[in-house]
Amino acid sequence: MKALICYNQNEFKLEEIDRPEIQKDEMLIEMIYTSLCGSDIIKILDPEVKKPAVFGHEVVGRVVKVGKNITRFNLGDVVVAAHHIPCYRCHYCLHGNHSMCRHFKETNIYPGSFCQYIRLSKEHIRYTTFKIPPDSNLLEALFVEPLACCIRAVDRVTFRKDDIFSVVGTGVIGMLFIQLIKLSGGRVVAIELDNDRLSMARFLGADCTINPSNQNIAREIKNITDIGVDIAYSP
Ligand SMILES: [Zn+2]
Ligand SMILES: [Zn+2]
């Protein structure tokens, strides 16, 4: 199968590698769509991250091989899958901080989504793989994993209707936050250096936008509220 191998931050090659084999509790997924996450870029740039490697973890794919113990999925199902799995038992997991869990950090899809086929382990199938209804927009389905991170962050804070959130940085994750906060009844101040992104933030519902390159953040926020924002996200 073809895979995009990263040798270093300036060198990527499309190469042939072996298609992953699967065991009886695993599945093989043919990639339909994948996208580039900010964390992939960090791994590509970080000299400490082992290379050569296949990166990528945002997955929309089709089930093309099913281990004989798998009952929840069938050939041809279109699925999304997340890459890390918490252990649900450690100190961090028991305190709700699953992304701090060691097992979470160590688990991954194989070899990475920037290739034609990936293998999903028993744990991935059990905890992080979901069928997508047949009439779904599969490009939108790519947002399931990043959106899940944002939903989790909004679920973890207590707030009342009309409370004010600031979203500092309105890249993809910031834009998802703006929409979620509006859907949850909050008000949003979007803070961002790029004016095009700020117009998109307004389009998606931001109540106020601030560009710190020519506006004073504290002063602008004081125009709306005396006590500052209630919740700040810096995605
Ligand atoms: Zn990601
Ligand atoms: Zn854990």
**CA distance readout (Å), 96 to 105, 153, 155, 185, 230:** 15, 11, 12, 24, 22
Domain finish residue from 142, 164, 180: 142
Q: Where are the beta strands (DSSP E) in the chain?
A: 2-8, 11-16, 27-35, 58-66, 78-81, 117-120, 129-131, 164-168, 187-191, 208-210, 231-233
Please tell me the distance between residue 99's alpha carbon and the centre of ligand 2 in angstroms: 8
The ligand that comes nearest to the alpha carbon of residue 93 is 2
Distance of CA 147 from the midpoint of ligand 2 (Å): 21
CATH, residue 36: 3.90.180.10
Same domain, 110 and 226: no
> Do residues 22 and 108 both lie within one domain?
yes
Output the CA 127–ligand 2 centroid distance in Å.
13
Tens digits of residue pLDDT in 164-206? 999 999 999 999 999 999 999 999 999 999 999 999 999 999 9
Share of the chain above pLDDT 70, in %: 100
Cα of 59 to ligand 1 centre, how many Å? 10
pTM given for the model? 0.88
How many domains does the chain divide into?
2
Q: Output the CA–CA distances (angstroms, integers) from residue 24 to 64, 66, 70, 120, in the order listed.
A: 14, 8, 7, 11
